[in-house]
Each structure stands twice: as C-alpha cells, then as structure tokens.
Chains A and B, each alone.
Chain A
C-alpha cells in the first residue's frame, strides 16, 4: 500500500510505484511544497537569530504529510481548521510565501494585520479558519463548520481538522470527535503525531501506541499511516476526505511524523532529547527522501531539482525583502475590529 522510499535504484531501470493516481506534475508540486515549507521554516529561525523577528515556529519533519494532505484538499471547496505547525499545508492550499513572511515580520499587511503569532493564518477566501494558540480549541469550530455544510446540504465539501498528538489529550478534542460522530458530519480529524508536545513524549500523553486506535470508540474509522511518506499521506487523507464528502461521516487518521526543530525559537530541545536521537530521525528526513524517490523513479532529474531549489530560494528571498520593507501596524490599528461597530464599553 504505502510507497517505498527507494533511495538507490539504478536510473537505467525505472521501478514502478503505487502512485494512487498522482500525476508526475502533482508529485513534483508536492516536493516543491515540501521544499518551500522547509525554506520558510529555516528563514524564520534565521531571522529570529538575526534579531529581526521575535519568534518563529517550524514544521520540519511534517512536510510529507502536509504536502499529501494539501493535494487531497479541494481548494475553493473544503475547509481547513489547522494549527500552528501546518505551514506546508497552509502554503499548499493557497497561503503565499510572501504572506508567510509578512506573518513572521508582523506587517500591517499580514493576514491578521500583525496581531497573530507567526503561522496562525486566517484566510477565509481559501477556506482557512482563524485559530488561536489554545490547543484543540479549533476542533470544536471545525465541527461547527462541518455541521453548517451538512445542514445546508452542500455536496462534495468537507472539513479537514488537523492537530498534534498533544491536542488529543484535551477534553475538547474528545468532545469534537464525539459530536461529529453523533451528527455523522463531513469532517476528517488528522493527527500529525510527531511524538512530542513541546517536551512531553507521547507515552506520557496516552497509554496506547496510536491515536487512531480511539476511532472505533467514537464510532468512526481510524487509520495510522507513515506521515513521512507524501504519497501514503495523500492516499490516507484523500480516502478520508472522499468518505466525508460522500456523506459517509467522520474519520480519525494519524500520520506519524518527526519534529526536527525545537518547539519554537524560544525552546531549547537539548533539555529533553539528545542530538543523537534527532540525528537518527534525520536519516528518514522526508525531504531528501522524497527528492531521491522522485529522481530514482524518473519523475524528476537532478537538474530540474537544482533549478527548483534555486527558484524557491529566490522566491523566499524576495518575499523576505518585501515583507521586511513593509510597514508595521500603526498605533490606531490596535483598536479596530473588536466589534463590528464602536469598541467603547461605555455608551
């Protein structure tokens, strides 16, 4: 089922692989999405260490899952209620590199007008729901969106709700799955399980091996897949979204991924895990693995890959320069959009 990450195949003999209907063009798009995410992640950390931005968060290790999910997501129809470690998914469904950099620099032209932490995007025009940093609080919102879709009888639409393994310990996470199952709603709960909630390992979050094992207890199908593998991720997310879109109800799926960086730029992960542990995980890094896979399977050649990398670096450099030059919000901007009308508590 899952595609094999073949890294040393002879170019003379191009092996076949299970592509789940993905075209060469889509596969290359997925790799580009992964590289773009990683480049912007690194840029955020660089800018922070240069003292240019106060904070950054990265998603390194989640690229494969998010590239696959982004292709499965129907842009312009589906709703994404994501979380802060979803940069690749956000980019994949229509947030631009420049918008990501504007978020990092907290520009006035940022999607939240410089209010939100980096990567807490809102973009209603592409179905990207506003989120807070309160873990799992958005899961109930996702259920509300799904309820509205079902209530209106809108066919072929579904909600994708993503979260980390830590979120699955929250009461509202449970409430969301239960509510969605009772109401048979068009929603997919996608856990990006990287095994760490900041510093707390997943074995301290739960006494079972896989989040998806809980699915039967809610009355929905569950599945765990290799989130380092973009093609397997696409397949799992697509099947669950298709199920939701067809009116067959919610699913709980879980991609096992890695987290290579600290929680954020404010976190020193050496306090709770060894460099050896990270180095060991890096051997399965989804970005170089997928590069090799596409080259080995004749989907991409080295020259085109180099060109893609250069193009992404140019795109991110230009986005950085433009965002850095953008004005910050004015002092008046603090006071707008509290309510539809005036903000004074006294009338």
Chain B
C-alpha cells in the first residue's frame, strides 16, 4: 500500500506494541486487561513498560480467568470504555467462548442498539513454534460463523498497525488474531503517525495473472516465497492477503479470479469447515463460469493441532515447497 509519510522498520511484535501504545496515549478510555500484561509486560513483551507509564488502572493484570477477562471487558465496553482484552494464547480462548459468541457479538442486536460493545480481543494464534497441542491452534473458523463479530488476521507490521488502530476505534467487537510465528520473524516498514486500514479490505501482496493464491497470516509469507519461486518457472501468481476474515473482501477475490481463472486457498486452520470452504462456496455461487480449474485448498489436516514432536509439527505445517508444488499442479491444469 502506497504511503506518503515516512516509515519505520519494525517486526510484528513491535507493531502491536506501538499501536497499543498510541491508543493508550490517544484515548483515556482505552484499557488493557489480560494475564501477565503488567510487570511481566506480556509473555511476548508486547506491553513491557506500559504498567509503569499508564498505571495499574489501565494495564490490568487480571485473575487467571479468560471468561472474566472477556466478560468484564464486555461490561466496560457497554459502559463506554474501550477495553482491549488479551487472551494469552488463542488455545486458552475456549473458556471465553460464551462471552465472545453469546454476549459480545449479540449485545447490539439483543438490545436493538441501546447498548453496544466496542472492544478488541487480541490473541496470538498459530503454530510452527514448537507450541504443541495447546500453544499452536488456529481458532478463526470457530468464530467466523458468528454474526456480530469481526475478525482480523494481519500478516505484516504495517497491516497490524493499520488494522489494530481501526479495530480499537470500531463500534463493534473485533477478534484480532496475531500469528505468533510472525511476531519476530516478519519485519517491514510501518508508516509513522496515525495510520488506519479499513476492516474488510484484502490486500494484493503480489500481483500476477496465472493463478490466484488466497491466504492470511503466516502463510502469506510462505505463499509469497513460493510465488516468487514460480516466477522463475514462468508462472505468474497473484497472492491475496485476506487480512480481514469477517467481513471478507469479495470484490478483490472476484476481480483476481476473473483475471487468473484458477484459485488456490491456503490456511493453517483445519480444512473441514475452514475459511477456505466459505470462499469456495462463494466462488461457486458467484464465479463458477470464470473458473478454468477446480478450486484447490491446501489447509491444516483434520487432526487436533500439531503435536510437540518436530516430525508431527512439520507434517501439520505447510512448507513453501508444498505450496509451490500445489501452484505448479494448478497452473498445469
């Protein structure tokens, strides 16, 4: 995305950190609550130093209770604060499921707009970090079915800043997913000063006209690596970073597919009932006659998350080589 302001290079952790910092500086209604976000400065050091600067009333180390972290934030939001609740790992979000699905997402609807729930739930998700069964999961498919929620899963530092700023200012609850493998692996230029990106807008990370790859999160970087490799073989691949999972950008997907006529969807979350299933259904409904090949999905296998052993994790994760092979096969179809 073209920006005319000067930029700073940072990694994804620093992008989350600087965005939260700016929000705390800008709006006294912004309150952070979660586990180990105070003196510890969050387990990834995202909030390091915040307690000292903003105090314990705004940087709330909560009791270890995810249902309460989200539920208390729902109450704060209804009363006009702008809470940013942190779930330490996405794997620990299940105790808060009702508060997210049954409460936050329904507050506006069930009160017919009398009460609203402007809040962000941030959580690190995803694997490839030797996180075993309970520090590796992807959770987006469990939540993207839910009207009333918005879900964002950016892949780059600039997108994190732009989308997290928008999410914090959004009038409705936003689930903000941060792929933990990208936290320190991915660096990039981030615009200085205020920077926002609208929710629901995908980004073409690499233009091409031979086939379209749709992904998000960590796999965007793997897909870009594979796509660049295929350029040498004469295959032009367009890579779309969804960035927002709900709402999702149909316009960008359809424009690309009408051009390339072939689609590969890649995500780490399980294949069955995943994000790729909804995109596939949409394409069959809206672009069936534009397709020159069956839609391909390269996704997490139908097992609970990746095991701890390196061999199990590797089998679960999709390497850029596997993505390149899938792209080659699709290009040949």
Contact = CB atoms under 8 A, between A and B. Distances in A.
A81 B74 CA distance: 13
A123 B111 CA distance: 8
Contacts of B74: 140-141, 144
Nearest to A343: B147
A151 B30 CA distance: 11
A116 B114 contact: no
B122 interface: no
Interface stretch (B15-23, B65-73, B183-191, B265-273): B65-73
Contacts of A175: 63, 65, 67-68, 71
B98 interface: yes
A284 B251 CA distance: 67
B251 A347 contact: yes
Interface stretch (A86-94, A247-255, A272-280, A333-341): A333-341
Given A339-B172, A340-B172, A141 B247 contact: no
A347 B250 CA distance: 5
B62 interface: yes
B12 to A, nearest CB: 24
Interface in B74-128: 74-81, 83, 95, 98-99, 102-103, 106-116
A313 interface: no
A337 B108 CA distance: 6
A86 B57 CA distance: 32
B103 A137 contact: yes
B282 interface: yes
A172 to B, nearest CB: 5
Given A122-B114, A172-B71, A179-B72, A144 B79 contact: yes
Interface string A114-139: 01100010111000011010100101
A265 interface: no
Contact of B75 (A113, A145, A340): A145
- Interface core residue of A143, A147, A182 (most chain B CB under 10 Å): A147
27 contacts: A111-B112, A112-B112, A113-B112, A115-B110, A122-B114, A129-B75, A129-B78, A130-B111, A132-B102, A132-B103, A140-B74, A141-B103, A143-B68, A143-B72, A143-B75, A144-B79, A145-B78, A147-B75, A148-B81, A172-B67, A179-B68, A179-B72, A337-B109, A340-B171, A345-B246, A346-B248, A346-B250
A177 to B, nearest CB: 10
B72 A338 contact: no
A178 B62 CA distance: 10
Interface of B: 31, 57, 60, 62-63, 65, 67-68, 70-81, 83, 95, 98-99, 102-103, 106-116, 147-148, 150, 171-172, 200-201, 244, 246-251, 282
Contacts of A147: 72, 75-76, 81
A33 interface: no
A148 B79 CA distance: 7
B68 A145 contact: no
Contacts of B111: 111-112, 122, 124, 130
A147 B58 CA distance: 11
Nearest to B254: A346
A148 B147 contact: no
B76 A148 contact: yes
Contacts of A141: 71-72, 74-75, 78, 103
A337 to B, nearest CB: 4
Most chain B CB atoms below 10 A, which of A111, A116, A338: A338
A331 interface: no
Contact of A132 (B65, B70, B106, B251): B106
Interface in A56-81: 79, 81
A179 to B, nearest CB: 5
Contacts of B68: 140, 143, 172, 175-176, 178-179
The 8 closest A-B pairs by CB, nearest first: A144-B75, A140-B71, A141-B75, A175-B68, A122-B111, A148-B79, A347-B200, A130-B111
A344 interface: yes
Contacts of B108: 337-340
